[in-house]
Structure 1
Amino acid sequence: MHKVLQTVVNLFKRKNDDLIAFDEDPYTRSINLERHCFGEFSMANAQANTIMEDQSQVEVASHNALYLGVYDGHGGVEASLYVLNNLFNNLLRFAHDNDNAIAEATLREAVADTERRFFDYVLNNIVQIRTIGKVGTCCLAGVLWKGVLYIANLGDSRAVIGSVVNRRVSAVQLTTDHNCNDPVIREELVSLHPGDDTIVMEKNGWRVKGIIMVSRSIGDAYLKRPPFLLPASFPSYEKVPDPFERGVVSAEPEMLTRVIEETDKFLIFASDGLWELMSNDQAVQIVHKNPRNGIAKRLVTTALVEAARRRNVKYRAMMTTTPGKEPNVGRRTFHDDISVIVVFLDNKTPLIKKHVHDLSYRGSTDGSQPSGFALSALTVAESHSFTGDLKKSFKKRFKGSTSKGQSSRSAEGLHLLLDMEGDSGDQTESSKGKSPWDPVRKHLKWKKH
């Protein structure tokens, strides 16, 4: 075989072997490709810490909307799990109060309310969980609502959009990394805390008070509220701020609104574990040049290969390590937790005729569950459409598959959802009388208990 051709073949085999290794890796998982009402999406993650502190979710609406969330926890998993379980629901509640519509203010209010309620959670649990005042999470939340993208960001997870003009793809970073290693962030902190010469300190990289790299987060109560400020919370080299008139870490999200243009082809939402190992341009080129199916897995695999290369080992050798920071054998010494969502934007007009269902996907689990969108007036502002071969569409949706083995999607969650919908007294004009769920109930031979 010609030498150049052999090189190409070897490169192809190596790339495929890395993807196979990802599927065999006990600390990775992915959802290869699923539909949303504006196109398709893919998810993947890799664990490095003893407990996976990253959380991610995609909430698919039957039409009108799509919700994305990446929550990179630190100090523990309580904050990222709390945001995973509450922020989206808070958004739906505020949207209901906003005449069943989403705007930038709606998302901002949802984030603020999630922060407030997490502090209540900390107060209620601090006796049982003494360390919970030191737990926090970055939060990257986005909503695509009728062709407009709203993003709220705290911390150093990142949203990047891939735009294609004349077949050339470019990466546009939509969010700011609230990380003290950025001199702009350090300047912002100094301006917000005049007279505090130790607001940013260089301790294994630049950090707020020499403690934490991110300048914005949800949680981190001990850095925000006096009741949680204990001398033991701070390292021996740094004294407790006195007086503690304002938090040294902010809970104010950076907000962005973007009308999706025809040139905007896909979004990448990812925790900093990905961006530590590749640039925006590298990520966008990978998405643009490769098949959609499993594209998030390909991004994470590329990052893991790079993490191993930096330690002069192969990915498969790195796979033998266990989660945690134990020197030489801890996975965290190679890379951080990584979470990635790739969303393809095929059409600003929801694809109602393709029977996209209200489903919830989480990076920590295979398959899907019914989404809160199903009970929200956000998705009934326009008439439901269950025309066509419903039986075939329904079976295909709930049979579906993910990578790392094919997982059957049970209809039990939908039965529960239908129970809830049947008990609801809050019906809109479009849902009174004949329920849009009737065809689904008929297909399931559903009976109310």
Structure 2
Amino acid sequence: MVEENPELALMGSCVLVTLMKGEDVYVMNVGDSRAVLARKPNVRIKEVREMFMNGAITRNSLVPLQLNKEHSTRIEEEVRRIKKEHPEDDGAIENDRVKGYLKVTRAFGAGFLKQPKWNDALLEMFRIDYIGTSPYITCSPSLCHHKLTSRDKFLILSSDGLYEYFSNQEAIFEVESFISAFPEGDPAQHLIQEVLLRAANKYGMDFHELLEIPQGDRRRYHDDISVIVISLEGRIWRSSM
């Protein structure tokens, strides 16, 4: 298929897989999606009081624990790895992107960053300056394990579009607050709506103005977003935009 349509070598995807069995949670990922666990803080009363007074947490709030490793140029370890694998290429990381093109350092697809032949098959305007034969990105996954405890409350699985506008702490605070106020509501959909609101505010437009922009053109204002919220009491919510 790629031989017949070489432009497919430009396409790629991140993957986040979570397996929950009893108290064990396994997370496998390729790319920059995140699995963020919300849990009660395991600190002494004095430390909780200090965190509350400093504004780090609110009363009765949860704290985030990211369960997976992120594969992007935001992670210095990933940047060092790519530079080490391409010592002859000063432009391996350029403008905080792999070859000036991708922020993710591992992904499925994106063959033009993995083999010279897929890069050479592209129209000249899409080609990178591929030096050597080693891949610039890989699809090698990271696997993490977490043992659940009574402190753990819910899990947010999301593509990186959510974290263009939220920190891990802000995301779990939004879900915690929403579930408390609207126990029959959909916290996954709420997170996406909040991203759209923040994107609209950032670019000086009304929420409905943003929604009227065609889906493809809207990528200039926010990335595609997929969110799954898993309550450890047994409920699951899914939403995407």
> Normalising to structure 1: TM-score of the pair?
0.45
Match of 1:302 among 194, 200, 211: 194
- Matched with 1:412 is none
* Residue 290 of structure 1: how far off its partner (Å): 1.8
The 1-side partners of 2:124 and 2:17 are apart by 30
In the other structure, the counterpart of 2:209 is 317
Q: Judge conservation of contact 1:283–1:299 (CA < 8 Å) in 2.
A: yes
Question: Which of 273, 278, 283 is matched with 2:161 structurally?
Answer: 273
Shift of 1:346: 2.2
Q: Which amino acid aligns with 1:319?
A: L
Q: Is the 8 A contact 1:231 1:240 kept in 2?
A: no
Counterpart in the other structure of 2:233? 346
Q: Deviation of residue 363 (structure 1)?
A: 5.5
Alignment of 1:382-401 (within 5 A): none
Return the alpha-carbon distance in structure 1 between the equivalents of residues 6 and 239 of structure 2: 28
Q: Is the 8 A contact 1:222 1:233 kept in 2?
A: no
What do residues 260-288 of structure 1 show as CA deviations (whole Å, max 9, x unaligned)?
11111100011111110111111111111
Q: Does 1:334 align with 2:221?
A: yes
- Residues 232 and 133 of structure 1: CA distance in aligned 2, closer, same or farther (over 3 Å): closer
Instruction: Give the SS at the match of 2:229.
Output: strand
Check 1:201–1:233 CA distance in 2 against 1; reply closer, same or farther (3 A cut): farther
Give 2:38's aligned residue. 162
Cα distance in 1 between the residues matched to 2:91 and 2:18: 34
The letter of the residue matching 1:346 is E
**Aligned partner of 1:144: which letter?**
M
CA separation in 2, counterparts of 1:228 and 1:128? 11
In the alignment, is residue 224 of structure 1 matched against residue 114 of structure 2? yes
Give the equivalent residue in structure 2 for 1:201. 94
- Measure the CA separation in 2 of the matches of 1:346 and 1:253: 29
Q: Matches of 1:174 and 1:139 in 2, distance apart?
A: 14
Structure 2: which amino acid aligns with 1:199?
A
Match in the other structure for 2:147:
259
Query: Which residue of structure 1 aligns with residue 137 of structure 2?
Result: 249
How many pairs are equivalent? Answer: 218
Alpha-carbon shift at residue 305 of structure 1 (Å): 0.3
- For residues 87-106 of structure 1, the C-alpha deviation after alignment (integer angstroms, 9 at most, x for no partner) is xxxxxxxxxxxxxxxxxxxx
Specify the alignment match of 1:392 in structure 2: none
Contact 2:188 2:239 (8 Å CA) reproduced: no
CA distance in 1: counterparts of 2:178 and 2:98, whole angstroms: 40
Mapped pair 1:134 → 2:26: no
| Unpaired stretches in structure 1, ≥5 consecutive residues | 1-124, 325-329, 348-355, 365-449
Aligned-residue offset at 1:214: 0.7
Change (3 A) 1:182 1:235: farther
Q: Using the aligned pairs only, state the percent identity.
A: 29
Change (3 A) 1:238 1:133: closer
1:210 to 78, 91, 100: 100
Distance 1:228 1:212 in 2: 16
8 A contact 1:133–1:222 mirrored in 2: yes
Contact 1:136 1:220 in 2 (8 A): yes
**1:151 maps to 2:27:** yes
Residue type at the aligned position of 1:149: V
Give the Cα separation in 2 of the matches to 1:290 and 1:363.
15
- CA distance in 1: counterparts of 2:69 and 2:127, whole angstroms: 30
The one-character-per-residue Cα deviations of 1:130-160 (angstroms, maximum 9, x if unpaired) are: 3122221011111112221111111111111
RMSD: 2.5
Structure 2: 5+ residue stretches without partners: 43-59
For the 8 Å contact 1:224–1:250, the answer to whether it is kept is: yes
Normalized against structure 2, the TM-score is what?
A: 0.81
Shift of 1:297: 0.9
| Residue-by-residue CA offset, 1:332-384 (whole Å, 9 max, x unaligned) | 2221111100001127xxxxxxxx9xxxx9857xxxxxxxxxxxxxxxxxxxx
Question: Using the alignment, how far apart are the partners of 2:126 and 2:161 within structure 1?
Answer: 28
Describe the shift of the 1:175–1:234 C-alpha distance in structure 2 as closer, same or farther (beyond 3 A). farther
Distance in 1, Cα, partners of 2:26 & 2:4 = 37
1:332 and 1:148 map into 2 onto residues whose CA distance is: 36
Do the aligned partners of residues 145 and 331 (structure 1) sit closer, same or farther apart at CA in structure 2, a change above 3 Å counting? same
How far has the Cα of 1:215 moved from its partner? 0.5
Q: Is the 8 A contact 1:271 1:340 kept in 2?
A: yes
Would the aligned equivalents of 1:137 and 1:217 in 2 still touch at CA under 8 Å? Answer: yes
Report the Cα distance in structure 1 between the residues aligned to 2:4 and 2:232, rounded to whole angstroms.
45
